[in-house]
Amino acid sequence: MKGQQIEAQLLINNKLVLASDNATFDLHSPHTGEVVAKIPEATLDDVESAVAAAQNAFPAWASLSPAQRGAPLKKIADMIMAEKDELARLDAIAMGRPVSTYFDATYAATHFNYYAEASYPQGHTSLNTPGFLNMSLRQPFGVVAIIIPWNAPLVFFSKKVAPAVAAGNCVVVKSSEKAPLSSWKLAQWIEKCGFPPGVINVLSGHGQTSGNALAMHMKVRALSFTGSTRTGRAIQIASAKSNLKKVVFELGGKSPAIIFEDADLEQAVKETENSINWNSGQTCMANSRIYVAESIKGKFIEAFAKLAGSRKMGDPTDSNVNHGPQADKVQHEAVKRYIALGKESGGEVIDTGAKANGAANANGDSKSLTVHPVIFSNIPETSPLVKEEIFGPVVVINTFKTEDEAIQKANDTEFGLYAALYTKDLERAIRVGKKLESGMVGINCTSPTGCWDLPFGGWKGSGTGRESLLESMDHYLEVKSLYVRCPGIGV
Ligand code: NAD
Residue 146 has pLDDT above 80, yes or no: yes
In a shared domain, residues 246 and 278: no
Q: What are the two backbone dihedrals, phi and then psi, of residue 111, each rounded to the nearest 5 degrees?
A: -70, -45
Whether the CB of 155 sits within 6 Å of ligand 1: no
Amino acid in the structure at residue 1? M
What is the Å distance from ligand 1's center to 449 Cα?
22
% of residues, the chain, pLDDT over 70: 97
As a whole number of angstroms, the distance between CA 33 and CA 21 comes to: 27
Q: Is residue 138 part of a domain?
A: yes
* Closest ligand 1 atom number to CA of residue 462: 41
E strands, 335-417, are 348-351, 374-377, 394-400
Q: Is residue 458 part of a domain?
A: no
Q: What are the two backbone dihedrals, phi and then psi, of residue 409, each rounded to the nearest 5 degrees?
A: -70, -45
Q: Find the DSSP H helices in 345-425.
A: 354-358, 384-387, 403-411
Exposed e or buried b per residue across 375-391, where buried means at least 16 C-beta atoms within 10 angstroms of its C-beta: bbbebeeebebbbbbbb
Predicted local distance difference test score (pLDDT) of residue 362? 46
Whether the CB of 253 sits within 6 Å of ligand 1: yes
Contact predicate 106/288, CB 8 Å: no
Question: Going by CA atoms, what residue is nearest to atom 35 of ligand 1?
Answer: 227
Contact predicate 99/316, CB 8 Å: yes
Residue 58 has pLDDT above 70, yes or no: yes
The tally of domains found in the chain comes to 2
Instruction: Annotate 420-439 with three-state secondary structure.
Output: EEECCCHHHHHHHHHHCCCC
What is the Å distance from ligand 1's center to 301 Cα?
32
In a shared domain, residues 277 and 240: no
Q: Is residue 490 part of a domain?
A: no
Predicted local distance difference test score (pLDDT) of residue 359? 58
Q: What are the two backbone dihedrals, phi and then psi, of residue 319, each rounded to the nearest 5 degrees?
A: -70, -10
Whether the CB of 263 sits within 6 Å of ligand 1: no
Catalytic choice (191, 250, 273, 389): 250
Whether the CB of 387 sits within 6 Å of ligand 1: no
What is the Å distance from ligand 1's center to 227 Cα?
2
Check if 250 is active-site.
yes
Whether the CB of 458 sits within 6 Å of ligand 1: yes
In a shared domain, residues 85 and 159: yes
In a shared domain, residues 148 and 276: no
Predicted local distance difference test score (pLDDT) of residue 357? 80
Q: Is residue 234 part of a domain?
A: yes
Question: Going by CA atoms, what residue is nearest to atom 26 of ligand 1?
Answer: 149
Q: CATH number of the domain that 425 lies in?
A: 3.40.309.10
Predicted local distance difference test score (pLDDT) of residue 346? 85
Pocket probe for ligand 1: among 156, 284, 438, the residue whose CB has the most ligand atoms within 8 Å is 284
Q: How confident is the model at residue 366 (pLDDT cuts 50, 70, 90)?
A: low
Q: Is residue 1 part of a domain?
A: no
Whether the CB of 177 sits within 6 Å of ligand 1: yes
Q: How confident is the model at residue 313 (pLDDT cuts 50, 70, 90)?
A: very high
Contact predicate 364/356, CB 8 Å: yes
In a shared domain, residues 260 and 340: yes
In a shared domain, residues 263 and 374: yes
In a shared domain, residues 285 and 424: yes
Whether the CB of 211 sits within 6 Å of ligand 1: yes
Q: Could you tell me the maximum CA-CA distance found in the chain, to the nearest angstrom? A: 85
In a shared domain, residues 95 and 116: yes
* Closest ligand 1 atom number to CA of residue 228: 32
Q: Is residue 475 part of a domain?
A: yes
* Closest ligand 1 atom number to CA of residue 152: 43
In a shared domain, residues 334 and 232: no
Q: How confident is the model at residue 4 (pLDDT cuts 50, 70, 90)?
A: confident
In a shared domain, residues 139 and 270: no
Is the preceding omega at residue 59 within 30 degrees of 0, hence cis? no
Q: What average pLDDT does range 318-322 have in this prediction?
A: 96
- Record the pTM: 0.96
What is the Å distance from ligand 1's center to 90 Cα?
19
Predicted local distance difference test score (pLDDT) of residue 3? 59
Residue 238 has pLDDT above 80, yes or no: yes
Q: What are the two backbone dihedrals, phi and then psi, of residue 86, each rounded to the nearest 5 degrees?
A: -70, -40
Q: How confident is the model at residue 1 (pLDDT cuts 50, 70, 90)?
A: very low
% of residues, the chain, pLDDT over 90: 95
Whether the CB of 465 sits within 6 Å of ligand 1: no
Residue 365 has pLDDT above 50, yes or no: no
- The whole domain housing 31 covers 6-251+464-480
Q: Is residue 489 part of a domain?
A: no
Predicted local distance difference test score (pLDDT) of residue 248? 97
In a shared domain, residues 97 and 233: yes
Predicted local distance difference test score (pLDDT) of residue 354? 75
| pLDDT 10s digits, 449-487 | 999 999 999 999 999 989 999 999 999 999 999 999 999
Cα–Cα separations (whole angstroms), residue 66 to 119, 287, 340, 426? 6, 40, 54, 44
In a shared domain, residues 230 and 331: no
Q: CATH number of the domain that 469 lies in?
A: 3.40.605.10
As a whole number of angstroms, the distance between CA 254 and CA 418 comes to: 8
Q: Is residue 324 part of a domain?
A: yes
Cα–Cα separations (whole angstroms), residue 67 to 14, 209, 465? 21, 36, 27
Predicted local distance difference test score (pLDDT) of residue 86? 98
Average pLDDT of the residues of the chain? 96
| pLDDT 10s digits, 406-444 | 999 999 999 999 999 999 999 999 999 999 999 999 999
